[in-house]
Structure 1
């Protein structure tokens, strides 16, 4: 069973299943009751879609027909949204067998059952589908053997109490199955054809119940087994219907819990960011309070002394910085002097020759101040 579990998980990953955990549980439950089915991946075309890798369960299911047990070959194709969408099911006859048309099986082998059309998870699952399929095949076998005209005549001349159904062969090379199987209709008449891959593993042989049961009679044990199977299926169906609402609510609660967990992580992240911002603000506030207290103390000391010179208060802390301030002040003063000399010339208060002489002298001084200011800023590490 562990090997099948690994194969199922691998096939689900290759077929890109959307609900891998739910699909795995549903498939493993079916395989526990029908061990002759085997998982694989096959290119298959669903309605309105191109061929894509699709999960496939292929093998045989035991069916009691007219007192004898036969292995009926079937194939189930699961969509990537399984188990929330019904699978597409087919009968897979061997080259020496033919599909027997009925209300449940068409000539291409496609299987029609109310269980499929009414499919709704979690009320319906693969195990229940296979059980319903086995019960429906008990009354009307989906396959029969190809035979010559003589053998058909001999079969038709048999008395009514003889068995007219040819058992399914003990081994079935599925590599010969190349028939066209249109997918199960969902909401369109489009019937794309699947592409089958060779499969060389033979099906297990059928098991006869007893030599007396082959005569066509049904004894009490067969009736009991059939009734128990039918009653069990009905009980399981009713139980699924009762639990369907609970399962849906549980799924909704799980989704809500997942969203709440994600919201919790986001809130925690936001709270951490706010705590960091609060810590930074508290640090900045403490620095501000210290600076404010220092300024208040300086202001209090200045209020008591009215003879303080404002020029003495605003001063540099080093001789180099004092020189920079002095040169900058002289530079600005010379700019103002040149400006007012120009206004004096315009107003006729001084001659042009006097203006040029004064401007030349002031410009020489300004050049010296500016050069000294630039060198001082370089020494102090200030931008030039």
Structure 2
């Protein structure tokens, strides 16, 4: 079966509906295991040649309570299933075609099922199922030795009946009318039985297709249910995130409102030491940083020759002495305030 799937995937590439055609062929091959897929040249009635995929082999037919294997070949059009398939009986060398109501002298198969073919409800399995019933009523082939279907698993001849109808005897009008009525009744019953068999086979094939469609729909429903559940979970998460976002937005607006309603803060009075010790610490640290900047600027002035070396050394000496005292004051204040020592 895997080989058949690979073959179909390869040779259905130029078909209009490769997936539908592959599924239709696979269903028929699964039901009738003596059929095999092929691809060969098909010659149309107008002489046009076309490479088509076909299924070739035998199908079991119960003819007069004996099972025979009838060889057939069914070609699929490129736009399958928009057009009905083309079926043929392919007799072996020991067989000959027996033209009838459903098969012509070339072996071409004709069925009401093909005439009423619909792309969405008809399929190969339904066609072949009807063939097994139709060929069971009227054999499409006969052995070249005797006019019987050619068997593959039983002797090639069908027993000839030994009881023959009695010769017609002249009788009155009542007997003749009764015989004609019985003949008509028998003919009608035969036609009705044949038609019922065709309808039953068609209905059975359609039921198989409907069951398969129902299974596909059930699987699709399960997938949709899973998708809907996942969508509901995602919706809940989005709602939760939206609620959190709205809450944070409200908090931000409240904070903005509080800030706008506050009195303006004087920057100079914002940093006021709470105790004299902290005030001494702040002033000493600020002055020490100012001395540091002054020493830096004196060095820059010396580089640019804006001040003499003697002036530079004198000012740096005084500023360094002042900076040392300020740093000692800062360290002492931090020690008294129980603050960690300042690292230079």
TM-score normalized by structure 2?
0.47
Task: Tell me: higher relative CO, structure 1 or 2? Use CA pairs within 8 A at least 6 residues apart.
Answer: 1
